[in-house]
Amino acid sequence: MKPRLLLWHWGRRGAGPQMLIALARALAPHAEVAISVSAQSALIEPTRALGLPLDAVPTYRSAPGFAAGLARVPALRPRLVRQAQAHRADAVISVMTHLWTPLVAPALPAAGIPFIPIIHDARPHPGDPAAFWGWRMRRELLAARLAVTLSAAVERVVNEIVPALPTMRMPLAAHLDLPPPRTGPRREGPLRLLMFGRMRAYKGLDLLRDAFAMLPAGFTLRVVGDGPIDTLAPGLAALPGVTIERRWVEEAEIPALIAEADALVMPYREASQSGVIPIAQALGVPVVATPAGGLAEQVAHGVDGLLASDISAPALAAAIAMLAQPGCLELLAKGARIRGAAMADWSDQAETLLRAIGLS
């Protein structure tokens, strides 16, 4: 008999809704899967198109909506429990935490239903909103039967917060539908570097600015994202070869954006892990990263990408400069394609998850 699982995520946009879809697809051949999703999810229609039992829960679209929606939380706790009971769920898996997750999750073990959260970040990133973070994380973990982490860096923190809680690691795969990886010779001209996403201080945009200024001729840098780019890295836009695009990058645009680059650069000062790295690998694009947190676990230096020797501008510049060595970029692109083949398929993740929770 197939195990019965309820996948739960009430976030509206970003990696959470995409990961919910990817994991549901991978689990469906092995388990009876139901879904609890935000009715305001940007991917509500693709989620419905999976054809799985689904409850679309009203959440919110804005900060005022969040405040008003809190009044609904007491009714949402029994609603999630009833769905899990009606599905006869062996476990409820939280695909990614949501602001309401710690308010609702304790109702599951109270009803005798195992709760298993996938923990992306056990601590807030520097500069990110951190109100009640410690209380929220501890409450979520104390309700859990098992915690799934996506890197050893996060697993260590979870073990510090609740030492008695069993944990397991599930490497993060690519959460987007992707075209085949790029093959063949690269386009002639300078080596094209890309950094994109939400720009925050911990992502080291100033390190990238200083590193790029140290590089020899033959590189360009494209920075695409929302956030205070000029405040985080004054003078970056004035450097020759640098293009700045200040805007939010929609999920649908990410594959083409990465595929246009010769290498993705991640100059982070701190990281749990990155959902962008497996996407780049699946597209055959090498990653150059600092050895921050879980990034060092996701990039095999000299095989599918390059790791700086430390978190500094000179070390990052030295790593980027290696791309210009004869044959280096081609070798790394091949390695990225090989590793990316597994990163584009969630089957291993689904089987690992089922084994860990004793349902395989």
Q: Could you tell me if 123 and 229 lie in one domain?
A: no
CATH code where residue 307 lies: 3.40.50.2000
Query: Over the stretch 158-191, which tens digit does the pLDDT of each residue have?
Result: 999 999 999 999 888 887 777 777 777 777 889 9
Q: Could you tell me if 60 and 147 lie in one domain?
A: yes
Q: Could you tell me if 70 and 114 lie in one domain?
A: yes
* Residue 263 clears pLDDT 60, i.e. is over it: yes
Quick one: tokens of 184? 């063949």
Q: Could you tell me if 113 and 200 lie in one domain?
A: no
* Residue 297 clears pLDDT 60, i.e. is over it: yes
* Residue 321 clears pLDDT 60, i.e. is over it: yes
Q: Could you tell me if 256 and 352 lie in one domain?
A: no
Boundaries of domain holding 143: 4-173+345-356
Q: How many residues does the chain have?
A: 360
* Residue 344 clears pLDDT 80, i.e. is over it: no
For residue 291, tell me if it sits in a domain. yes
Q: Could you tell me if 198 and 166 lie in one domain?
A: no
For residue 185, tell me if it sits in a domain. no
pLDDT of residue 64: 72
For residue 178, tell me if it sits in a domain. no
For residue 339, tell me if it sits in a domain. yes
Q: Could you tell me if 150 and 30 lie in one domain?
A: yes
For residue 182, tell me if it sits in a domain. no
Per the structure, the count of domains in the chain is 2
* Residue 123 clears pLDDT 70, i.e. is over it: yes
Q: Could you tell me if 272 and 145 lie in one domain?
A: no
Q: What is the DSSP code (8-state) at residue 144? A: -
Q: Could you tell me if 169 and 196 lie in one domain?
A: no
Residue 172 C-beta-side C-alpha neighbours within 13 Å: 34
Query: Over the stretch 191-232, which tens digit does the pLDDT of each residue have?
Result: 999 999 999 999 999 999 999 999 999 999 999 999 999 999
Kindly state the helix (H) or strand (E) to which residue 34 belongs, with its residue range. Answer: strand 32-38
**Residue 147 phi, psi (nearest 5):** -115, 135
For residue 320, tell me if it sits in a domain. yes
The residues near 266 (Cβ < 8 Å, ≥ 6 apart) are 195, 203, 274, 276, 277, 287, 288, 289, 290, 295
| pTM of the entire predicted model | 0.89
For residue 12, tell me if it sits in a domain. yes
For residue 196, tell me if it sits in a domain. yes
pLDDT of residue 14: 82
Query: Over the stretch 95-113, which tens digit does the pLDDT of each residue have?
Result: 999 989 999 999 999 999 9
* Residue 360 clears pLDDT 60, i.e. is over it: no
Q: Could you tell me if 158 and 197 lie in one domain?
A: no
- For 109, 126, 263, the CA distances from 103, given in Å and listed in that order, are 13, 24, 41
Q: Could you tell me if 56 and 153 lie in one domain?
A: yes
Q: Could you tell me if 17 and 123 lie in one domain?
A: yes
